[in-house]
C-alpha cells in the first residue's frame, strides 16, 4: 500500500496542471482501491460551490456540470465536518442530492474525505461502489492518508496550471489569481519580470522559456542528441572489451531510446509549440517518467531512471552551449529559483534587480539578509511555486506578507502600483528623518543600530542614519569561504567594520554557526540542529577556533575603543564563565606580546528560555544584554523559525514572548545592566512601541527598517508607550496585540507604516 501511495503522489507531483493531476488521482485511486467510482470535487470559492472536476466511473460529461452549493449535498457534509463520511446507502441519506447527468443512482456506498491544505478546504475525494455496504476501516484510512498527502501536490498543480503556458490555448485559459504564500524575506513590494535560475545538473529545475526561431532550436536539439549518441557509442565500444553482452544491454537500450521517435519526437513537438529545447526536454522526460512510475513491474519501473539519465545527458549537451545567465536582465528583474544563492544575486546588475523569490530558505537565509541589505524585496520558502513555468512572466513580490502573484490581473497590478507609490512617498518622508536623532517627544534617546554581517551592508547601514552596528554576525564572512578564515583574514574584516563606524559602537558577535547556519567546510549532521551543537557551544568545544577569533577581534579594536563583544546562544552561566576565561586569556596574551588594547564591553544574547529565567545571574557577569527575539520566539513557542509549514504560528507579538521580554528588562534593570533587542522584532514599528514602553535601552535592526522605527520613537512618549504596553499585556492573542498596536500607529498619524507593513 505504501508503494502504491508513493507512486500516486509522485505522479500527481509531476503533473503539468490541475486537470492532469486530478485525472491521475481518480484513475489510480479507483484501481488501487478496487472501487466502481472515484471522483474529485473542488471548492469554487467565488461561487461558494463544490464542482465535480474529475471522475473515473461517473459520466464524464458531468465534469464541470455537477455543481452544488457549499451547504447542500453529501459533498458539502464532508466539507463542513472536515472528516470522512462513510455510508452504506448514500441515496437514502437526507442530505443526498441527485444529479441525473452523473449517472450516480446505481452506486450505493459512498466514502468522502476532505482535501485540506494549510487549514483550508480545497475539495473532497470520493469513492463509490454499487454494493450497499459501508467501506472498511482500511479503506477509510487509505483514502484519508492519500487525501492528506495530495493536498500539497494539488496546490502545486493548481499554481502550475494557473500560470499561462507558452501555447496559445493555455494563454487563453482562465487564470488563477490567488497569490502563492511564502515567508517574508525582505520588506518591500516589487513588480517585475521573472528570470528563473537553475542548477545545470538538475533537469527538474529547468524553466520553460519561449523561443521565436523554433527551427533553429530543433536543430540545436538534434545536434545535442547526435552528440549523446556518439558518447554512448564510444562508451559501448570501450565496454565491449570488459562487459559481457547482457550487461551491455543498458547501452543498447539507451541507443534504442534515442533512435525511436518517442522521446525525441515528443521534444521536437514541444519545441514547435514554442518552448526552448531544455524546457521541452524536461517536460517530455517528466511525462515518460510518469509512465514508467505507473508500471506494476518493479524492474520496468526502475528503467525510468535510465530515461532520466538520458535526459540529463542530452541536457548537459544542450546547456553547455547555452549561456547560464541571460545576456540582458530585464529592467525590473525578479530572480526566481529553487534555491537562489548569494552569487546568483550578485550576477544581476544592481539597478535591474527588483526582487528575489526562493522556493527554499527563510528570512534568516544568507540571501534574504543580503536582499535586505540591498533594499530588494524578497519572499522565501514558497513551496507551491512552480519555478519551471514562470520564466519571463510578470510577477509581483510582496516582501511584507510573503505573497507572490504570477501574471497578476490588472486589478491586482493597479493595487500594487498604488502601494508602491505610497511606499515611495513614505520613504521620502522617512528620508527627511535621516539626520534627526531617535529621541522621543519626552526627550528619551533610544539609539538605533543596524544588524550587519557582510561588508556589503556597511554603506546602506550608514546611509540609513544608524548610530552604530548593534549586531555584526561574524558567521557570514565564515560562510562565504571554503575553510575557516585565519587570524589575519579575520583581523582585516573586523578592522574594516570597526573603522567604518568609529567612533560609533560596533557589536561583534562571536561565531554562531550550527542550527540552520552551516559552514560548507564544517558539516554538522544532526537530527535536531536547533537544539544541537550551535553558537557558543561550538566555540567552547573548539578553543583553537574561538581563541583565533577573539584575538583577531581584540587586535582589530586597537586604538579604536568602539568594540563590543557579544556571546550567542548562552543557555547557562557556566558558558559565560568559560567564554570570559578564554577572552581574558586572549587579552593577556596579546598585552604580554606588546599589543596595546583595552578590554571590550562584553554582552550576552538572551535568546534561550533558560537565559530568561537566569537573566539576573547573567546580567551580573557582563556589561550588557542583547535579546535575540528570532531565536527566543522560536524556542518559547517551539516553532522552527525556518519551517514554512508552521510559519503562521511564529509571532514575536505572542503574549508569552512579550511577557518574557518584560521579565528580561526587569531583571536587567535590577542589576543595572543595559539591555537591547537585536532580533527582527526590533525593526517592526508596532513592536517598537512595546519595547519603548518596557524601557529597552537601544534597538538594532536591518537598515531598511531603521527609518520606520525612528519615526515611531519620535512620535511616542515613553509614558504613552508604557500605557499601551500595559494594555497590550492584557491580551490573550498575538493578533489582538497586533491590531491594538496598529490602531495606536494610525491614531498617532503613522498609518503609512501599517499599510506598508501589512
Residues that are catalytic: 366, 678
Q: Is 59 exposed, middle or buried (0-12, 13-18, 19+ CB in 10 A)?
A: middle
Instruction: Residue 402: name its binding partner from Mg ion, ligand PEP, none (Cβ under 5 to 8 Å by kind).
Output: none
Min dist CB 492 to ligand PEP, Å, is: 22
The answer to whether residue 628 forms part of the interface with ligand PEP (CB under 6 A) is: yes
d(CA 19, CA 27): 12
Q: Where are the beta strands (DSSP E) in 679-720?
A: 698-701
C-alpha cell at 83: 472528516
The answer to whether residue 104 forms part of the interface with ligand PEP (CB under 6 A) is: no
Residues 594-623 that bind ligand PEP (CB under 6 A): 607
The answer to whether residue 631 forms part of the interface with ligand PEP (CB under 6 A) is: yes
The residue count of the chain comes to 758
How many residues sit close enough to ligand PEP to count as binding (CB under 6 A)?
Answer: 11
> Which DSSP helix (H) or strand (E) runs through 416?
helix 410-431
The answer to whether residue 207 forms part of the interface with ligand PEP (CB under 6 A) is: no
| Dihedral (CA of 257, 258, 261, 266) sign | positive
192, 408, 465, 679: residue in contact with ligand PEP (rule CB under 6 A):
679
Instruction: Residue 693: name its binding partner from Mg ion, ligand PEP, none (Cβ under 5 to 8 Å by kind).
Output: none
Write the CA distances from 379 to 71, 355, 359, 363, integer angstroms.
36, 8, 8, 8
The answer to whether residue 55 forms part of the interface with ligand PEP (CB under 6 A) is: no
Piece in contact with ligand PEP (CB under 6 A), picked from 347-355, 376-384, 404-412, 629-637: 629-637
Placement of cell 473542488 in the chain: 42
Piece in contact with Mg ion (CB under 5 A), picked from 450-458, 483-491, 604-612, 683-691: 604-612
d(CA 135, CA 247): 48
Angle at 237 between CA 236 and CA 241, to 5 degrees: 105
The answer to whether residue 17 forms part of the interface with ligand PEP (CB under 6 A) is: no
Residues 6+ apart with CB under 8 A from 391: 194, 195, 196, 207, 208, 209, 336
Piece in contact with ligand PEP (CB under 6 A), picked from 315-323, 436-444, 481-489, 628-636: 628-636
Beta bridge partners of 129: 109
How many residues sit close enough to Mg ion to count as binding (CB under 5 A)?
Answer: 3
Min dist CB 575 to Mg ion, Å, is: 14
What angle do the packed helices 734-747 and 718-728 form, to 10 degrees?
150
Q: Is 679 exposed, middle or buried (0-12, 13-18, 19+ CB in 10 A)?
A: buried
* Residue number, 161 or 470, with CB nearest to ligand PEP: 470
> Which DSSP helix (H) or strand (E) runs through 40?
strand 37-44
The secondary structure of residue 477, as a DSSP letter, is: H
* Residue number, 430 or 639, with CB nearest to ligand PEP: 639
The answer to whether residue 642 forms part of the interface with ligand PEP (CB under 6 A) is: no
The answer to whether residue 104 forms part of the interface with Mg ion (CB under 5 A) is: no
The answer to whether residue 512 forms part of the interface with ligand PEP (CB under 6 A) is: yes
Residues 312-371 that bind ligand PEP (CB under 6 A): 364
Instruction: Residue 407: name its binding partner from ligand PEP, Mg ion, none (Cβ under 5 to 8 Å by kind).
Output: none
The answer to whether residue 684 forms part of the interface with ligand PEP (CB under 6 A) is: no
Piece in contact with ligand PEP (CB under 6 A), picked from 83-91, 108-116, 551-559, 627-635: 627-635
Q: Per-residue string for binding with Mg ion, 608-647, x by CB under 5 A?
A: --------------------x--x----------------
Instruction: Residue 713: name its binding partner from ligand PEP, Mg ion, none (Cβ under 5 to 8 Å by kind).
Output: none
Min dist CB 677 to ligand PEP, Å, is: 8
Angular region, 206: left φ>0, alpha ψ -120 to 50, beta rest: beta
C-alpha cell at 732: 490573550
- What does the binding site for Mg ion look like in residue numbers (CB under 5 A)? 607, 628, 631
Positions touching ligand PEP (CB under 6 A) are 364, 471, 473, 512, 607, 628-631, 678-679
Amino acid at each position: 500500500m505504501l508503494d502504491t501511495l508513493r507512486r500516486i503522489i509522485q505522479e500527481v507531483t509531476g503533473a503539468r496542471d490541475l486537470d492532469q493531476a486530478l485525472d491521475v488521482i481518480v484513475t489510480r485511486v479507483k484501481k488501487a482501491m478496487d472501487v466502481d467510482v472515484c471522483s474529485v470535487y473542488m471548492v469554487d470559492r467565488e461561487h461558494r460551490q463544490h464542482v465535480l472536476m474529475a471522475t473515473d466511473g461517473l459520466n464524464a460529461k458531468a465534469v464541470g456540470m455537477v455543481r452544488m452549493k457549499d451547504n447542500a449535498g453529501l459533498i458539502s457534509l464532508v466539507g463542513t465536518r472536515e472528516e470522512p463520511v462513510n455510508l452504506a446507502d448514500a441515496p437514502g441519506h437526507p442530505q443526498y442530492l441527485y444529479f441525473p447527468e452523473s449517472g450516480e443512482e446505481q452506486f450505493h456506498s459512498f466514502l468522502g474525505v476532505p482535501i485540506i491544505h494549510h487549514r483550508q478546504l480545497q475539495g473532497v475525494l470520493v469513492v463509490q461502489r454499487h454494493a450497499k455496504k459501508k467501506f472498511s476501516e482500511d479503506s477509510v484510512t487509505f483514502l484519508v492518508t492519500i487525501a492528506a498527502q495530495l493536498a500539497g501536490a494539488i496546490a502545486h498543480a493548481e499554481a502550475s496550471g494557473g500560470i499561462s503556458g507558452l501555447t496559445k490555448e493555455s494563454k487563453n485559459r482562465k487564470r488563477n489569481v490567488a497569490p502563492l504564500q511564502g515567508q517574508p524575506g525582505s520588506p518591500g513590494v516589487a513588480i517585475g519580470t521573472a528570470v528563473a535560475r537553475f542548477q545545470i545538473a538538475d533537469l527538474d529545475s529547468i524553466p520553460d522559456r519561449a523561443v521565436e526561431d523554433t527551427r533553429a532550436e530543433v536543430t540545436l536539439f538534434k545536434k545535442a542528441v547526435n552528440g549523446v549518441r556518439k558518447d554512448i557509442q564510444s562508451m559501448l565500444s570501450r565496454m565491449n572489451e570488459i562487459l559481457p553482452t547482457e550487461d551491455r544491454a543498458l547501452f543498447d537500450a539507451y541507443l534504442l531510446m534515442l533512435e525511436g521517435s518517442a522521446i525525441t519526437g515528443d521534444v521536437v513537438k514541444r519545441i514547435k509549440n514554442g518552448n526552448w529545447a531544455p524546457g521541452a526536454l524536461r517536460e517530455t522526460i517528466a511525462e515518460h517518467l510518469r509512465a514508467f512510475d505507473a508500471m506494476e513491474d518493479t524492474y520496468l519501473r526502475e528503467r525510468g531512471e535510465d530515461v532520466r539519465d538520458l535526459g540529463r545527458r542530452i541536457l548537459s549537451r544542450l546547456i553547455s552551449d547555452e549561456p547560464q545567465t541571460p545576456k540582458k536582465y530585464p529592467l525590473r528583474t525578479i530572480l526566481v529559483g529553487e534555491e537562489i544563492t548569494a552569487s546568483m544575486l550578485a550576477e544581476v546588475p544592481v539597478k535591474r534587480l527588483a526582487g528575489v523569490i526562493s522556493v527554499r530558505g527563510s528570512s534568516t537565509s544568507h540571501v534574504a539578509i543580503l536582499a535586505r541589505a540591498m533594499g530588494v524585496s524578497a519572499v522565501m520558502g514558497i513551496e507551491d511555486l512552480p519555478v519551471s513555468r514562470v520564466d519571463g512572466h510578470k510577477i509581483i513580490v510582496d516582501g511584507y506578507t510573503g505573497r507572490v502573484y504570477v501574471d497578476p490581473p490588472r486589478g491586482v497590478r493597479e493595487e500594487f502600483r498604488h502601494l508602491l507609490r505610497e511606499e515611495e512617498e513614505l520613504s521620502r518622508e522617512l528620508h527627511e528623518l535621516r539626520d534627526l536623532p531617535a529621541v522621543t517627544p519626552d526627550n528619551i534617546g533610544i539609539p538605533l543600530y543596524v544588524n550587519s554581517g557582510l561588508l556589503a551592508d556597511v554603506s546602506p547601514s550608514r546611509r540609513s542614519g544608524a548610530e552604530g552596528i548593534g549586531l555584526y554576525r561574524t558567521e557570514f564572512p565564515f560562510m562565504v569561504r571554503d575553510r575557516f578564515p585565519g587570524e589575519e583574514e579575520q583581523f582585516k574584516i573586523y578592522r574594516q567594520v570597526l573603522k567604518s563606524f568609529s567612533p560609533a559602537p560596533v557589536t561583534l558577535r562571536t561565531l554562531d554557526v550550527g542550527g540552520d547556519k552551516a559552514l560548507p567546510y564544517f558539516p554538522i549532521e544532526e537530527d535536531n540542529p536547533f537544539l544541537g551543537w550551535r553558537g557558543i557551544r561550538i566555540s567552547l568545544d573548539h578553543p583553537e577556533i574561538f581563541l583565533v577569533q577573539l584575538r583577531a577581534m581584540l587586535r582589530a579594536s586597537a586604538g579604536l575603543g568602539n568594540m563590543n563583544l557579544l556571546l550567542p546562544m548562552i543557555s547557562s552561566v557556566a558558558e559565560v564563565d568559560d567564554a570570559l576565561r578564554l577572552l581574558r586569556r586572549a587579552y593577556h596574551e596579546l598585552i604580554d606580546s606588546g599589543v596595546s588594547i583595552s578590554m571590550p564591553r562584553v554582552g550576552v544574547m538572551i535568546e534561550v528560555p533558560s537565559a530568561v529565567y537566569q537573566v539576573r545571574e547573567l546580567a551580573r557577569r557582563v556589561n550588557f544584554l542583547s535579546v535575540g527575539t528570532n531565536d527566543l520566539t522560536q524556542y518559547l513557542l517551539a516553532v522552527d523559525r525556518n519551517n514554512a509549514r508552521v510559519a503562521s504560528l511564529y509571532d514575536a507579538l505572542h503574549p508569552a514572548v512579550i511577557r518574557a521580554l518584560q521579565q528580561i528588562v526587569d531583571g536587567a534593570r535590577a542589576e543595572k545592566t543595559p539591555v537591547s533587542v537585536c532580533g527582527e522584532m526590533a525593526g517592526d514599528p508596532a513592536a517598537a512601541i512595546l519595547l519603548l514602553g518596557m524601557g529597552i535601552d537601544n534597538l538594532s535592526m536591518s537598515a531598511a527598517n531603521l527609518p520606520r522605527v525612528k519615526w515611531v520613537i519620535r512620535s511616542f512618549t515613553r509614558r504613552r508607550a508604557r500605557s499601551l504596553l500595559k494594555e497590550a499585556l492584557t491580551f490573550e492573542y498575538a493578533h489582538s496585540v497586533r491590531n491594538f498596536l496598529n490602531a495606536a500607529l494610525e491614531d498617532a498619524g503613522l498609518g503609512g507604516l501599517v499599510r506598508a507593513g501589512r
